[in-house]
Amino acid sequence: MTTTSDIYESGGSGRADDIFATSPADEADAEGATILNATGGDWDDLVEEATALNEERIVVNMGPQHPSTHGVLRLILELDGETVTEARAGIGYLHTGIEKNMEFRTWTQGVTFCTRMDYLTPLFNEAAYCLAVEKLLGITDDIPERAQIIRVMMMEFNRIGSHLVAMGTGGMEMGATTVMTVGFRERERILSIFEMVSGLRMNNAYIRPGGVAQDIPHGTIDAVREAIPLISKGVHELELLMVENPILKGRMQRVGYLDLTGCMALGMTGPILRSAGLPLDLRKDEPYCGYETYDFDVVTRTEADAYARLCVRLDEIHESLKIVEQCADRLQAKPGPVMVADKKIAWPSQLSVGSDGQGNSPDHIREIMGTSMESLIHHFKIVTEGFRVPTGQVYAPVEAPKGELGCHLVSDGGTRPYRAHFREPSFNNLQGTAAMCEGGQVADVIVAVASIDPVMGGVDR
């Protein structure tokens, strides 16, 4: 760390035209306290500095093209032989501008943008956003029970799918190809149900402000009941492949270590935090969508390493399957609407399935065009202009597979968000990269990053 006075003496970023810098005189006024300015810099500058000091440092890039960096993540590693002495994560290579784009779309259209952030957990992105919109509208308690059950079922299936990808890709990166094929095989069962319910495998835009886009089609509950034991069997197969495998344990135990103090300091959540022993789970601590009525346990470990995170994810899959089974029972017993009753907010959701396998069937078109001119005008206006949301700002968090996913919305009373911002768990969890990797081997960097399970679509939104 460089002090302000050092910067002034070296002619660094404390120059006169830096309005954020403090002067040595300002330091004297701070009752003897030392003021530190943390400044960033490009690694090319660090290399030049090392060269000028005649120090032998090796600085290498892992990524952004490296297959072990989960997309376009750049890891800049300073090495001493095979030992990592310094590690930094470079992000921004997948920036999409999703949050900014949402300011130019109606509240309902915003769902189609945020669902694409973490593309492995689209339903959680949608849920956090819609819960925030409903909070602004003051209709949180008006959402039909059936819609909430469907949301929970879809989110828990999505949690299982995300964990399967985390374990599958992590296994592949260590050379365990079978872990990858088994994990993706079980995920396909979930994606088939998503396609049956929403018409899409990913980026579903199914959860909407006020409820869900449409009710589950006939046969969904039977498909869910058939999938549960098959997925459970597949996960058991993964457990047999991994949990007591001496090679895997040798690669993962005591690797990527980050204790509870470090997790708390860096704002880590999700499996990383629970692997360090803290049973923080928003489904229990700040329930939403009726989670307080479901029977499930919060899984924890205490080893705080990559292996503990693997075990947490495996156990969480079994807990999610318990929740999905409860959802199937409730959906069978509780028919009803899936969209809020207020027609000034609700998009049409009770759509008959057309020949294309999705909504807007001839029956639906005939209904809105034949009922009255007013209903047709209302349908046109709510789709093209959207509804107005009262002025205010809210924050709504959900327990996503990677940790706390929160949506902060600001409304100026119009039909579009004034500001939409997400607390994306992959972004926060990547802060632990240096703490997990420094002091370890180059090969352990891959294991540590895989245990974080970052998805850059969420980081670079």
Which pLDDT score, from 0 to 100, does residue 20 have?
Answer: 44
Which pLDDT score, from 0 to 100, does residue 362 have?
Answer: 67
pTM beyond 0.85, yes or no: no
Tell me which residue has tokens 């803290």.
278
Residue 232 lies in a domain: yes
Residue 11 lies in a domain: no
Which pLDDT score, from 0 to 100, does residue 355 have?
Answer: 52
371-390 pLDDT per residue, tens: 767 777 777 788 888 889 99
- Of residues 127, 114, 135, 148, the one with CA closest to residue 208: 127
Residue 33 lies in a domain: no
276's tokens: 């360090």
203-239 core/surface letters (b: 16 or more CB in 10 A; e: else): bbbbbbbbbbbbbbeeebeebbeebbeebeebbebbb
Residue 364 lies in a domain: no
Mean pLDDT across 135-161: 94
Measured N-to-C along each axis, helices 220-242 and 145-173 cross at an angle, to the nearest 10 degrees, of 30
Residue 56 lies in a domain: no
Q: What is the CATH number of the domain that holds 186?
A: 1.10.645.10
CA 309 → CA 59, 68, 265, 303, 437, distances in Å?
29, 18, 18, 9, 16
**Residues paired with residue 281 on neighbouring β-strands, in sequence order:** none
CA geometry: angle 229, 234, 238, nearest 5 deg:
145
Residue 285 lies in a domain: yes
**Cα–Cα dist 397/165, whole Å:** 23
Least confident of 37-51, 145-159, 422-436: 37-51
58-116 pLDDT per residue, tens: 888 887 765 555 568 888 888 888 888 888 888 888 888 899 999 999 999 999 999 99
**Cα–Cα dist 280/268, whole Å:** 11
Q: Which band of pLDDT confidence, cut at 50, 70 and 90, is reported for residue 438?
A: confident
Helix residue ranges per DSSP H, 55-212? 98-102, 110-114, 122-137, 145-173, 177-198
The domain in which residue 444 lies consists of 98-345+387-459
**Cα–Cα dist 3/53, whole Å:** 20
CA 84 → CA 62, 232, 302, distances in Å?
12, 39, 25
pLDDT greater than 50 at residue 215: yes
Are 252 and 303 a contacting pair, CB within 8 Å? no
Residue 452 lies in a domain: yes
Number of domains in the chain: 1
Residues 354, 359, 365, 367, Cα dihedral to 10°: 100
Residues 188, 444, 448, 236: is their CA dihedral positive or negative? positive
